[in-house]
Amino acid sequence: MFKDLRDYLYFLEKKKMIIHINYELSPYLEIPEFARRAILSRKPTVVFDRVKGFPEWKMISNIFRDLETIKMILGVEKLEMIGERIISFLEKSPPKDFIDKIKEFVDVLEMRRYIPKKISSGDFEKNRFEKGFDKVPIPKIWPGDGGRYITYGLVITKDPLREIYNMGVYRVQVIDNERGAIHWFIHKRAAYSMRNYLVKGIRRIPVAVVVGVDPVTMLVSAFPVPYPIDKYFFASMIRGESLEIVDLGDLEVPAHAEVVFKGYVYPDQLVEEGPFGDHRGYYDTISKVPLFKLEETFYRDNPYYYFTVVGQPYMEDTWIGKSVERIFLPFIRFIFPEIVDINLPPEGLFTGGIAIVSIRKYYPGQAKKVMLGLWGLGLFSLVKIIIVVDEDINIHDLGQVLYAIATTVDPSRDIVIVENAPTDELDFVSRERGLGSKLGIDATRKLPEENYGRKWPDKIEPDPEISKKIDELIKRLGI
């Protein structure tokens, strides 16, 4: 497991999976455009060694360039293994005798390995200045953006009711040297914590924005981990060892970060945020979000600044989204055992757009039961369109999915429309920001109860004996 970002960069250097750019480029549009081209062409991680106006800094992008790289970072052959490992803890039977009690005790000890470990000081505490947004090469990504943006900052908050940590990737717009605007959506965990602060009458919320940690913790920050699971604890589980953290007074933060912006969010003081070129390939409109007031900036010697370019697929967030799909599939199967597989196509914009689901169907109405259940499950509630097919359909082959829709769907019977439901706040076609409609398509073969009392026709298949004979002939002919 990698201790920090530098440890991972050293690993990439040895593997010759890194590109150094020694030509001086500006963090305003130039470096992001180079990074965007590198991401689209599936180039290795890019390090910009000469950042115009910031001679002390280097900038990095494109760590999560494909699923194979993410598997390498996580140390697994299949991403589903991550979720399966965690589910195994939940599936253990209650102890029945002494031996089972011993096993349970061992399991508890195993879980203790993942408690975040507090250490005395962090690497970033060597350098500090007040305020400081202007002293860091925070880039402007797209020409129409409202300003400079922290695009892969780990926004850290502590829930005041349950005392658990949240760590999410929310975009942060820099307004000036000491003010920012954090766009944490109303459906995300940070907004949930903010509401809990308001319940307690607290209107000055401690927040840290952390840039540049080990790649596993960076990934976990983007994962939709259900509340109230502590994100530090979850990151430790995925890492396979405790995440080291340090106490900065109001908050504990990852000890080996490159940069830490420490300050407060004032939910009663709203500021304009945007426009911002987001993953839909369009500029998100200006909205009002709570003010983030920066108090202190900390950074390591010879610091690295990590950023990502957000835009129409396929960007880095494409591969992060696909890794989320694979890692959390075992959790979804745990809740809905009839689900075989899920595909959140990058072009469908993941939980902001289209999901394709295959199921083992046993009873009438089961496809609708699954789609309605998924619309009530965490960030799956934001999916706009769900298509449900039978288990023999390869949902990663869009041709097979279209064939299933064409041959099984009677629109008046198999289409579900739900109005006034939660949607992705970035979906500009919805009726209101965060409120729109859903479309469900039942593209499964229908049981007689669903098919107006008629038996579903038999699927055409070749004669098995003839098929076997032709198989042998083709093999002999070497065709």
Residue 43 to residue 34: CA distance in whole angstroms? 11
Residue 37 to residue 215: CA distance in whole angstroms? 21
Q: Looking at residue 350, what is its pLDDT?
A: 72
Contact 299, 259 (CB under 8 A): yes
**Given 3-state DSSP classes, what are the helix, strand and coil percentages for the chain, each rounded to the nearest 5?**
35, 25, 40
> Which element (helix H / strand E) includes 260?
strand 259-273
**CA-based nearest residue to 264, from 171, 307, 202, 222:** 202
How many other CB atoms sit within 10 Å of the CB of residue 338? 18
Residue 87 to residue 95: CA distance in whole angstroms? 17
> Which element (helix H / strand E) includes 284?
strand 283-284
Q: Which domains, from first to last, does the chain contain?
A: 81-306 (2.30.110.10), 336-443 (3.40.1670.10)
3-state secondary structure of 244: strand
DSSP single-letter state for residue 114? T
Residue 233 to residue 138: CA distance in whole angstroms? 29
Within 13 Å of residue 175, how many CA atoms lie on the same side as its CB? 16
Supply the pTM of this predicted model: 0.87
Q: Which two tokens stand for residue 142?
A: 């797209």
pLDDT digits (tens, 9 = 90+) for 363-417: 999 999 999 999 998 888 889 999 999 999 999 999 999 999 999 999 999 999 9
Q: Looking at residue 1, what is its pLDDT?
A: 78
pLDDT digits (tens, 9 = 90+) for 153-171: 999 999 998 889 999 999 9
Q: Looking at residue 378, what is its pLDDT?
A: 81
* Pairing state between β 58-61 and 304-306: parallel
The residues assigned a catalytic role are 278
Q: Please list, in sequence order, all residues whose beta carbon lies within 8 angstroms of the beta carbon of residue 296, skipping any fewer than 6 positions away.
A: 128, 129, 130, 131, 132, 261, 262, 263
Radius of gyration of the chain (CA): 25
Q: Please list, in sequence order, all residues whose beta carbon lies within 8 angstroms of the beta carbon of residue 270, skipping any fewer than 6 positions away.
A: 288, 289, 290, 291
Can you give the length of the chain in residues? Answer: 479
Q: Looking at residue 450, what is its pLDDT?
A: 93
Q: Looking at residue 86, what is its pLDDT?
A: 81
Q: Which two tokens stand for residue 57?
A: 């800094």
**CA-based nearest residue to 287, from 301, 275, 279, 278:** 275
Give the relative orientation of helices 231-239 and 215-222 as an angle to the nearest 10 degrees: 130
Residues of the chain with pLDDT under 70: 89-111
Amino acid at 215: P
3-state secondary structure of 173: strand
Residue 163 to residue 233: CA distance in whole angstroms? 12
Residue 424 to residue 411: CA distance in whole angstroms? 25
Q: Rounded to the nearest 5 degrees, what angle is found at the Cα of 117, between the Cα atoms of 115 and 119?
A: 170
DSSP single-letter state for residue 250? S
Q: Which two tokens stand for residue 89?
A: 């803890």
Residue 163 to residue 310: CA distance in whole angstroms? 32
Q: Which two tokens stand for residue 298?
A: 């900390």
Is the preceding peptide bond at 228 cis, omega within 30 degrees of 0?
Answer: yes
Q: Looking at residue 102, what is its pLDDT?
A: 47
